[in-house]
Amino acid sequence: MAAVTIKSAEEIEKMRRAGRLLARVHEELAKAIRPGVSTKEIDTVCEELIRGYGCTPNFLNYEGYPASVCVSVNEEVVHGIPRKDRILREGDIVSLDTGLIYQGYHSDAARTYGVGQISQEAEKLIEVTRESFFQGIMMARAGKHLHDISNAIADYVIPYGYGIVHDLVGHGIGTKLHEPPNIPNFPQRRRGIRLKAGMTLAIEPMINIGTGEVDWLDDGWTVVSADSSLSAHYENTVLITDGEPEILTLL
Ligand code: MF3
Ligand code: CO
């Protein structure tokens, strides 16, 4: 595996800016979630916000991906393609995953929201997924090992009986959207690389109510839970420091 990059002080400033702007994009997108809105409308708002900040959407045209945001509804895990005819309805859950480039540096973050009133089981899935990220980043500090993060996420999620998605993982991030290392969200026997200050990582648990098995739809992108159970996603771009990790994509 190629070496994991350590960002310089100047690069970290740009990553911080890329992260803060993306946090604002997510705050605005959250306001667009309501019954009756199409997933395409969310994409339009997202692209306008990113460009309005003078940044570039990094998902758009990534390996041919046709939008600025992935909008994944209910049993869709990730990479849902926005569509005019996909209308959000009361009771749905929707994951928004998006990122941007600021002066050559990438940020990446995802959130799952309820549309109007949602079931208690859906609320719980969203909350456990979010909390698993925070459990993971307790281990995200210099001197710990990469898989301490993976194991902390898994140890938190498994007692709920949920399925952790194995086929998609978190990643390093910087001058590219996806850099080494891969960051699995399921139990690891090896410790993985030692974490160092200046690493920037996108940590992103994807959790299903049922099993963690997934299928790919014929559109070539959308990943769904194999058993059609609800799925949630929570992701932030994080800076490793000698102390507390800095979550770059939260305000
Ligand atoms: N957000 C995904 C990730 O976290 C990347 C999506 S790539 C796209 O790694 F092409 F689907 F946009
Ligand atoms: Co990511």
- Residue indicated by tokens 């997510």: 26
**Where residue 2 falls among pLDDT bands split at 50, 70, 90?**
confident
Mean pLDDT of 66-83: 98
3-state SS, 92-119, equals: CEEEEEEEEEECCEEEEEEEEEECCCCC
pLDDT of residue 204: 98
The ligand 1 atom nearest the CA atom of 59: 12
Mean pLDDT of 56-72: 98
101 neighbors 58 (Cβ within 8 angstroms)? yes
Please indicate whether residue 102, judged by its CB atom, sits closer than 6 Å to ligand 1.
Answer: no
Residue pLDDT, tens place only, 29-44: 999 999 999 999 999 9
93 neighbors 232 (Cβ within 8 angstroms)? yes
The ligand 1 atom nearest the CA atom of 168: 9
Protein residue with least CA distance to atom 5, ligand 1: 59
**Domains of the chain by residue range:** 9-241
Distance in Å, CA 235 to ligand 2 centroid: 7
Mean pLDDT of 123-133: 99
Please indicate whether residue 234, judged by its CB atom, sits closer than 6 Å to ligand 1.
Answer: no
Mean pLDDT of 48-75: 98
The correct CATH number of 9-241 out of 3.90.230.10, 3.30.2350.10, 3.40.50.720, 3.20.20.140 is 3.90.230.10
Is the pLDDT at 161 greater than 70, yes or no? yes
